[in-house]
Each structure stands twice: as structure tokens, then as C-alpha cells.
A and B are shown apart, each in its own frame.
Chain A
Amino acid sequence: AQSVTQPDIHITVSEGASLELRCNYSYGATPYLFWYVQSPGQGLQLLLKYFSGDTLVQGIKGFEAEFKRSQSSFNLRKPSVHWSDAAEYFCAVGVPNAGNMLTFGGGTRLMVKP
């Protein structure tokens, strides 16, 4: 069965600093990988996704993620964090051809210092 681990439960960065959120997955085949963001009291919004091809994928709001098969990782990055990026971030792996189910990691809560 697939699984996703987000090692950092909380991360605090200063506004303008760079950001990297870690995600490790376990899946027996080529994974479909996703990053979602959840602002307080809101549902989840898709930031970006990786299916195949170029291992560096660009998303919305200036985020990018890099797929590294050798490390089973799909880390999320942003060069310069804005206060509005404070939210909870979820990495997920998708199971194709089975109702397109998603398995989520536990989430990383990002706080941004002024």
C-alpha cells in the first residue's frame, strides 16, 4: 500500500526567506504526486502535480516541486515566502485506475514571521 510522510509538523520562516517542505512517499509503481494547500478554515487547493516527464514542476503562487525517484521524495519549494503563504501544506500520492484515490501525508503547518 502507498504511504506519504511529511517529516516536519511545523515550520517557521521569515517573510522573504526561502522555503522547502519535505515529502517522502512509498509506492510500488510510478507515482502521481501532488501538493495541496489549506488556508485556515478552508478546503484544500491544488498547488501542483507530477505525473511524468520533467522532474521539476511549477505550480501556482510561485511554488515548485522536484521529484527525485532515487530518494522517493517530492519536496516543495518557494524562493521567497510571503505572509499570505502561512497555511497547512499536504503532500499526496495518487493511485490511478482505482477511483483516482489520494493518500495524504500528515501535513506541515507553515508559519511566517514578519
Chain B
Amino acid sequence: NAGVTQTPKFRVLKTGQSMTLLCAQDMNHEYMYWYRQDPGMGLRLIHYSVGEGTTAKGEVPDGYNVSRLKKQNFLLGLESAAPSQTSVYFCASSSSTSGMWETQYFGPGTRLLVL
């Protein structure tokens, strides 16, 4: 049981390049999330998904796209990377129980540097 895994761990991009970050969870969770972490700003929600085939915008969605084609995977795409997207990206997942809050489990993070 690996929990939440993220690929890659570290990436350097040039401005204008594209890339996809992969998040995978093996806990059969319905909900998945992408956050970015910047110094002094905590974690900010980029996009999230409440189930396979569904996605929704979070607090800072601009410049990112996501897809949830399979329940266990949540992909975060950068179509044209900008230096402002230099950050550490965290994926999280949680189960969903009607009327109850379920704990979010976090992956180890992906460090992205955009030059």
C-alpha cells in the first residue's frame, strides 16, 4: 500500500514548455486535490476532483489544467510554464462519506523550477 505517490519528484522547465505531473493513489479514494506550496503562503488549492471524470477549480487555477480519467490518477498539466509557477506541488486524496469529513492524505511533493 503505497498511499499517494507523485511523479516526477523534481523537474526543471524552460519558460513556455509544457509538462504533466502525475498523482496516483491506491486507497480507492473518491476525492483528489492538487495544491501548490510557496514560502509564507501555505498550501493553496489549484484544482480538485470529487470523482472519476469530474474536476473543479480551486483558489489558484489559472495556468493549470487537470484530468481524472481514472479514479486512481489525477493529472496536473502546465501548457506553457511561467517562472511564477516555480513551486512545490502536492497531491492529496481522501475518501468521501456523506455528511462526514475524511482526512486528506498527502503525497511527497514535486519540486518544479521554471527558468
B74 contacts which chain A residues (CB < 8 A)? none
User: Given A43-B108, A100-B102, are A107 and B40 also a contact pair (CB < 8 Å)?
Assistant: yes
Chain A, residue nearest B97 (CB): A100
Per-residue interface assignment for chain B, residues 41 to 80, with 1 indicating a CB less than 8 Å from any chain A CB and 0 otherwise: 1111100111000001011000000000000000000000
- For the complex, give the distance between the alpha carbons of A30 and B40 in Å: 26
User: Given A43-B106, A49-B103, are A99 and B42 also a contact pair (CB < 8 Å)?
Assistant: no
- For the complex, give the distance between the alpha carbons of A43 and B108 in Å: 4
Other-chain contact of A101, B40, B48, B96, B102 (Cβ < 8 Å) = B48
- Chain B CB within 8 A of A87 CB: no
B56 contacts which chain A residues (CB < 8 A)? 99
B103 contacts which chain A residues (CB < 8 A)? 46, 49
> Does A107 contact B101, Cβ atoms closer than 8 Å?
no
Residues of B within 8 A of A (CB): 4, 31, 33, 35, 40-45, 48-50, 56, 58-59, 90, 92, 94, 96, 101-104, 106-109
